[in-house]
Amino acid sequence: MDPIWTGYITKKQFFELDKFDEFTVWLGTWAPGTQIDLIIKKHEDLCSSAQRGYYFGVIVKLIAEHTGHEPDEIHDYLKWNFLRDKDEMGLQIARSTESLTTKEREEYHEKCRRWAFVVLNITIPLPNEVYTGE
């Protein structure tokens, strides 16, 4: 597993690592002459605790109450239906909701709400329409 190193572009267009000392120690674990890949991309925030609370406390909870299933069963069902992907070996897997960016998470929530409305005939309130304790 390869770590992710974060940092910022300074006003001089220079990359400043957040944990430079840890990075240099990690880099020192590679043998001289080892070819590496350095990938730089704009940082994307992963889902927030508020999104997580809304998903489990509202979406999953309401569907579980309506169907009589356990929340974990509903979570697995929704992931399988809306986050299915293929891994590097071509096997179908369900992506983890924790790997989603805030934007991807909201798109996933919308698919879950739409499915619940069309298939189960229940309306799930939007995040700004319900208090989740976050």
pTM of the model: 0.67
Q: Does the pLDDT at position 52 exceed 80?
A: yes
Q: List, for residues 5-36, the tens digit of each pLDDT value.
A: 677 677 777 778 888 888 888 888 888 888 87
Spans of all domains in the chain: 49-129
Q: List, for residues 91-104, the tens digit of each pLDDT value.
A: 999 998 988 888 89
Return the closest-CA partner of residue 98 out of 62, 130, 55: 55
Which region, left, alpha or beta, applies to residue 118 given φ > 0 means left and ψ of -120 to 50 means alpha?
A: alpha
pLDDT of residue 134: 57
Q: Does the pLDDT at position 43 exceed 80?
A: no
Helix (H), strand (E), coil (C) string for 32-82 = CCCCCCCCCCCCCCECCHHHHHHHHHHHHHHHHHHHCCCHHHHHHHHHHHH
Q: Residue 82: how many CA atoms within 13 Å on its side-chain side?
A: 21
Return the closest-CA partner of residue 109 out of 75, 66, 69: 75
pLDDT of residue 11: 73
Integer Cα distance of 132 and 86 in angstroms: 33
Beta-sheet pairing, 92-94 with 84-86:
antiparallel
